[in-house]
Amino acid sequence: MADRIPLVYLHAVEPGKYLAFYPAFVTQDEPAMLRFWVQVDDVASVAADQAGGGHAISEEEADARRSYITSTVRRRLHQATFRQRVLRAYREMCALCRLRHTELLDAAHITPDIEEEGEPVVPNGLSLCKLHHAAFDNFFFTVTPDYRIEVRPSILAESDGPMLVIGLQDINGSLIQLPTRASQRPDIARLEKRLEIFRAAS
């Protein structure tokens, strides 16, 4: 901490899988409590500071920069952890089409994460392929409190290619695939609130 030596911060998202962030610095410690604080910084700015090049950065600017970068990293950690937990709960498949290629799967928020109630917890998530995630976020469909898919009437009335038919129109009224554990299933209250918004927008 005294010498400002950079560290690599490894955050476990599940056993054997980590996100790495560099450079990270110890900014404060409490030896008696066996704890310390770590803050992530910006590689390019640190390199410029160490080389003595670039424009001078005031301490206030540096603190603001570090706070911004650390808060950005914190969001990324939450997102990555949320995705891993949701995909595991849904047995690594899309809850709608059962696609099992994890590279094409996302964890969709029922209550958006920008809202105060949008916590990164499994009951606030759905495992969706990228197509269905985008359609869900744009209210092409929703999931009702009894776990059925409700497609927007205007989408059902559309005439388009086979992807629209297979991807959305044919699954209207179907039950989604649910996590085995009841505690991990979509929260009913969140689904009810989203259904109200969905129907108002339709």
pTM of the model: 0.69
For residue range 5-61, list pLDDT tens digits in order: 889 988 887 788 888 888 888 888 999 999 988 888 765 555 555 555 544 545 566
The predicted structure's pLDDT at residue 37: 86
Q: Are residues 165 and 178 in the same domain?
A: yes
On whether both 56 and 105 belong to a single domain, the answer is no
Q: Which pLDDT score is estimated for 78?
A: 74
100 and 195 part of one domain: yes
Region of poorest pLDDT, from 32-46, 128-142, 159-173, 188-202: 32-46
Query: Is 1 a member of any domain?
Result: no
Domain with 36, as residue range(s), is: 7-88
Query: Are residues 31 and 78 located together in one domain of the fold?
Result: yes
| Region class of 147: left (phi > 0), else alpha (psi between -120 and 50), else beta | left
Question: Does 176 share its domain with 158?
Answer: yes
Co-location of 76 and 129 in the same domain: no
Residues 114 and 192 in one domain: yes
> Phi and psi of 166, rounded to 5°?
-70, -45
26, part of any domain: yes
More confident: 1 or 125: 125
Bridge pairing between strands 35-40 and 125-129: unpaired
Q: What is the pLDDT of residues 169-193, one digit of tens each?
A: 999 999 999 999 999 999 999 999 9
Tell whether 183 and 127 lie within a shared domain: yes
Over residues 143-169, the mean pLDDT reads 95
Print burial letters for 10-36: b (CB count within 10 Å at least 16), e (below 16): eeebeeeeeeebebbbbeeeeeeeeee
Same domain, 110 and 197: yes
pLDDT, tens digit, 9 for 90 and up, residues 60-113: 666 666 666 666 666 666 788 899 999 999 999 999 999 999 999 999 999 998
Let me know if residue 175 belongs to a domain.
yes
Residue 113 has a pLDDT of 85
Number of domains in the chain: 2
pLDDT at site 114: 84
77 and 48 share one domain: yes
Average pLDDT over residues 104-132: 94
- Residue 192 falls inside a structural domain: yes
Task: Examine the fold and report which residue of 88, 109, 140 is the final residue of a domain before the chain moves on.
Answer: 88
Whether residues 82 and 63 share a domain: the answer is yes
